[in-house]
Amino acid sequence: MATEAPITQDVLTIPRKLPEDGKVNLVGLTRAKLREALIGMGTPEKQAKMRTGQIWQWIYHWGVRDFAEMTNLAKAYRAQLAEHFVVEVPEVVSRQVSADGTRKYLVRIAGGHEVEVVYIPEADRGTLCISSQVGCTLTCSFCHTGTQKLVRNLTAAEIVGQVMMARDDLDEWPEPGVGTGDAGPRLLSNIVLMGMGEPLYNFDNVRDAMKVVMDGEGIALSRRRITLSTSGVVPEIAKCAEEIGCLLAVSFHATTDEVRNKLVPINKRWNIEALLNSLREYPRLSNSERITFEYVMLKDVNDTDADARRLVKLIQGIPAKINLIPFNEWPGSPYERSDWERIERFADIIYKAGYASPIRTPRGEDIMAACGQLKSATERERKSRRQIEQETGL
C-alpha cells in the first residue's frame, strides 16, 4: 500500500490519479468537463454537445462500461474513445451481508486505499451510505473514523463510483432495449453522505458527484433523496444549499458548547450559536423543508432530561427532525450507549415539544456497518497526539 504523508486541512490536494495506462476516467466528470474531454480528444465542437449526451446516457442511464457497447456511436469513434478513456468504478474488495439484509462493501481506490459503503434496505426505500474521504481530519471523540488519519479526499469519480458499484451489485441497471429503468420502486432510492469523512471539507468533489447522480438523464435521484451530513463546517453550509440543494443533516450531539467542544471539536471553531445561525438560513436557501439534527446518545454525557429541554429550546424556529442515534460501540470506544429507557424518555420530551424524534435502529450490527463504525482495514493507524492537537486546535 502506498503511504502518503498526512495532509492537513487547508492543503488537501486531490491526486487525480489516472488509470494505469494513462487513460482518463470519464466517471464523475460534470457534463461541461465531459464535453471538454471529448473535444480534447478530437470531437468536432459542433458535435460535442450531442456526443456528451449520448455517452452520458450510456454511462449513467444504462450502466455501460465498454465503449464497444455504445451502439449509437460510429465504430471508429468508439475505438477512438477506448484509446483515450475508461469508464471505471472502484473495485469491490469485500462484501458482507448482514442478517438484516444490510450490505457492507469495502472498495479499493487509487493508491490502494479503501473506503466503506453501506446499503440499507427498508420497506419503502433503499439507502446507500457513501464516503467522501479516506479517514477524516476531524476528531470527534465517539467516532471510529475520527481515530483514523486522513489520507485524502475522494475524487468525484470515486464518489459517483460508489453509487454505480452498488447499482451493479443490486443489478439495478435497465437492460438495453427492455426497460427504461423507470418502472417500479428503486432498490437504491436514497443516498446519505454519512460514511467516512466530512463531506463539506471535500466540497467541490461532493458537489460534482451529486450533480452527476441527480442529473435527470442518468441515475436521476432527486435532490430530496440525498442527505448530506456535516459536523458543522459553517462557512460551507450556505454553499451546500445553493450549489447542491440536497437535504442537510447536522451532527449536533450536545446542547452546551462545553460538551460539544469535547464530542465534536470543530465546535471550538464554529460554536453552537454560529452553527444554528447558518442552519436557520438553510431551508430557505435550499428550498427544502427541514433539517435533520443527529444526536448520538451517550450514557451520562449528553442524555439527561435537561439536555432534551435545552435542545428543543436551541432549535426553536428551525424546521427540524431530531434523529436519535444509539451510540454504536467500537473496540476501544470511550463511551457507552445510553440505556433504552433513557433514550425513549429523551425522545418523548422532544416529541412532546412538537418535533419528530425517531430513534435510529442500528442496522448491520453483526458486520460493524453502523454509523461511526466505518474504518478501513488498511488504515488502522491511529492519529498521533500531535496531529490530534493540531486538528482540534483548527
Residues labelled catalytic: 116, 371
Complex with ligand SAH: residue 36 or 365, whichever CB lies closer: 365
Rounded CA gap, 66 and 222, in Å? 27
Using CB distances below 5 to 8 A depending on partner kind, what does residue 294 bind out of ligand SAH, ligand SF4, none?
A: ligand SAH
Task: Convert residues 311-340 into a mask of x (bound to ligand SAH by CB under 6 A) and - (unbound).
Answer: --------------x-xx------------
Least distance (Å) between residue 30 CB and ligand SF4: 26
Conformational region of residue 120, where left means phi above 0, alpha means psi within -120 to 50, and beta covers everything else: beta
Decide: is 240 part of the binding site for ligand SAH (CB under 6 A): no
Q: List the interface residues with ligand SAH, window 85-144 (CB under 6 A).
A: 140, 142-144
Give helix 203-214 / helix 234-243 axis angle, nearest 10°.
Answer: 20
Task: Convert residues 197-236 into a mask of x (bound to ligand SAH by CB under 6 A) and - (unbound).
Answer: xx------------------------------xxx-----
Complex with ligand SF4: residue 181 or 197, whichever CB lies closer: 197
DSSP 378: G
Q: List the interface residues with ligand SF4, window 161-220 (CB under 6 A).
A: 197-198
Decide: is 325 part of the binding site for ligand SF4 (CB under 6 A): no
DSSP 348: H
Whole-Å CA distances, 99 to 95, 102, 269: 13, 7, 41
Q: Which three cell numbers stand for residue 88?
A: 471505471
Complex with ligand SAH: residue 67 or 119, whichever CB lies closer: 119
Q: Which three cell numbers stand for residue 368?
A: 460493524
Task: Convert residues 210-239 into a mask of x (bound to ligand SF4 by CB under 6 A) and - (unbound).
Answer: ---------------------x--------
Q: List the interface residues with ligand SAH, window 284-303 (CB under 6 A).
A: 294, 296
CB-count burial class (<10 Å; 0-12, 13-18, 19+) for 175: exposed
Binding piece for ligand SAH, criterion CB under 6 A, among 34-42, 102-110, 183-191, 371-379:
371-379
Q: Which three cell numbers stand for residue 236?
A: 460551507
Using CB distances below 5 to 8 A depending on partner kind, what does residue 371 bind out of ligand SF4, ligand SAH, none?
A: ligand SAH
Rounded CA gap, 306 and 290, in Å? 24
- Please select the residue that binds ligand SF4; options are 27, 29, 143, 247, rule is CB under 6 A: 143
- Please select the residue that binds ligand SF4; options are 34, 70, 107, 138, rule is CB under 6 A: 138
Decide: is 251 part of the binding site for ligand SF4 (CB under 6 A): yes
- Please select the residue that binds ligand SF4; options are 102, 145, 227, 255, rule is CB under 6 A: 145
Residue nearest to ligand SF4 (CB): 146
Rounded CA gap, 211 and 32, in Å? 11
Residue by residue, DSSP assigns 201-263 as GGHHHHHHHHHHHH-TTTT---GGGEEEEES--HHHHHHHHHHT--EEEEE---SSHHHHHHH
Decide: is 146 part of the binding site for ligand SF4 (CB under 6 A): yes
Least distance (Å) between residue 145 CB and ligand SF4: 4
Q: Where are the alpha helices (DSSP H) in the chain?
A: 31-40, 45-56, 75-84, 156-170, 203-214, 234-243, 257-263, 272-286, 305-314, 340-352, 385-393
Rounded CA gap, 149 and 388, in Å? 9
Q: Which residues bind ligand SF4 (CB under 6 A)?
A: 136, 138-140, 143, 145-146, 197-198, 231, 251
Task: Note the residues at the interface with ligand SAH (CB under 6 A).
Answer: 140, 142-144, 194, 197-198, 229-231, 251, 294, 296, 325, 327-328, 371-373
